Chains A and B, each alone.
Chain A
Amino acid sequence: MADDALFEFLHMEMVAHVYKQQASRAETEQERTTSVSILEGMGFRVGQGLIERITKDTPGFKDDLDIMKFICKDFWINLFRKQIDNLRTNHQGTYVLQDNRFSLLTQFSNGKQYMEEAPKYLAFSCGLVRGALCNLGLDSVVTAEVSTMPSCKFQVVIQKA
């Protein structure tokens, strides 16, 4: 689909732009963390808006797990045209979402070559999930990790108030 490619290109440009802007500001050491947090913040705002739109026709949620299932199915399909492949939880507020073919990473080489670049391309998505959960009333910390290339794990830790 054409709009898929559009999102991927836009996302690539966004990452490139944020990093270029940061680089031109010179402070080299802080560069990576701040760029990641800028991207994460952008994702957060988009996630907030998106979840409002996507949940418009869904009845209320029963509990946290219900919300996470929604994120794995409807929310993910809306964003990446596929569901999360595996959702695991310890029933104490930690969830691990595994995507075996994460669409923002499929353009990368499958080897170890670009492993270091991966966090750049996951920050926005982490923000998306965090924004969505925040708007549904769950404060969370979302981190991502990649062990083999197109697959990706998101760890969501719900912060209990």
Chain B
Amino acid sequence: MAVCIAVIAKENYPLYIRSVPTENELKFHYTVHTSLDVVEEKISAVGKALVDQRELYLGLLYPTEDYKVYGYVTNSKVKFVIVVDSSNTSLRDNEIRSMFRKLHNSFTDVMCNPFYNPGDPIQSKAFDGMVSAMMVQAC
């Protein structure tokens, strides 16, 4: 269901990025890159105004003609971005949430792996497997 999933470090460089139509990879890199500004905006807005509405899930960042981009930020300011196809209208907000949840769980597993150095690109097979499962699911 997702066409592209990215994990971005707190200093805004990619830790992990994967997209399904591999021939168009660069376009997704671009889409994710542009989404970072929106993420930044949302984070700083939360800090100022509504104190109660602090949540890790940032919701829909922006829609383009073909895709919808969703964002999520952990307490350590690591960002997750999921790009889904706009044509897939059956996808609910709840499902996106649960995808982020799963992604976050796997990411914590990676972080707690003693062989992983925080800040390095993610090369874990378990994480990779989880992401691929999320991409093919209900395609």
Contact = CB atoms under 8 A, between A and B. Distances in A.
A47 to B, nearest CB: 11
Contact of A56 (B51, B54, B73, B108): B108
A49 B111 CA distance: 5
B10 interface: yes
Contact of A52 (B47, B55, B56, B111): B111
B105 interface: yes
B76 A56 contact: no
Interface residues of A, number: 17
B35 to A, nearest CB: 19
A9 interface: no
A24 to B, nearest CB: 24
A97 B84 CA distance: 46
Contacts of A60: 46, 54-56, 73, 75
B71 to A, nearest CB: 13
Interface string B12-50: 000000000000000000000000000000000011000
Contacts of B51: 62
Nearest to A135: B76
Interface string B72-91: 01111100000000000000
Q: Lowest 10 CB-CB distances: which A-B pairs, in order?
A: A60-B54, A55-B75, A49-B112, A59-B54, A52-B111, A135-B76, A53-B108, A52-B108, A49-B111, A48-B118
Interface of B: 10, 46-47, 51, 54-56, 73-77, 104-105, 107-108, 111-114, 118
Interface of A: 45, 48-53, 55-56, 58-62, 135-137
